[in-house]
Amino acid sequence: MKAEHSETDKRLMTIVHFNRIAMQRGEAEVWTVHNSLGCFNVIEVRMNCPMHTVYAPNGRPPRAKFKGTARLIIVNSVAYLS
C-alpha cells in the first residue's frame, strides 16, 4: 500500500477530534487530525501511542478530543498514530 501522506520520523504534537460538522451535513463519520503540518480528515484513527483525553462538559466544540505526540501516517483515509 502506498501512503497518501507520510511525515518525517519526528513525533509531533497531534490533536484528534470527531468532526461534528461533517456528521450534521450527512457525511460519513469523519475524524480530524491536526498537527504542525496541517489538518487532515480521515474516516478511521488507529492509535498505538499514549494520548491524553480532554473532555469539555459544557458543550464547547470539540466536546472530546485526544492530544499527544505521535508520528502520523495516513493510508486509504485511515490515520495511524504511533
Q: How far apart are CA 43 and CA 36, in angstroms?
A: 20
30-72 pLDDT, tens per residue? 899 999 889 999 999 999 999 998 877 776 677 678 999 999 9
What are 70-80's pLDDT values in tens digits?
Answer: 999 999 999 99
Nearest to 71, CA basis, from 16, 14, 11, 15: 11
Domain ranges of the chain: 5-81
25 Cβ contact partners less than 8 Å away, ≥ 6 residues apart: none
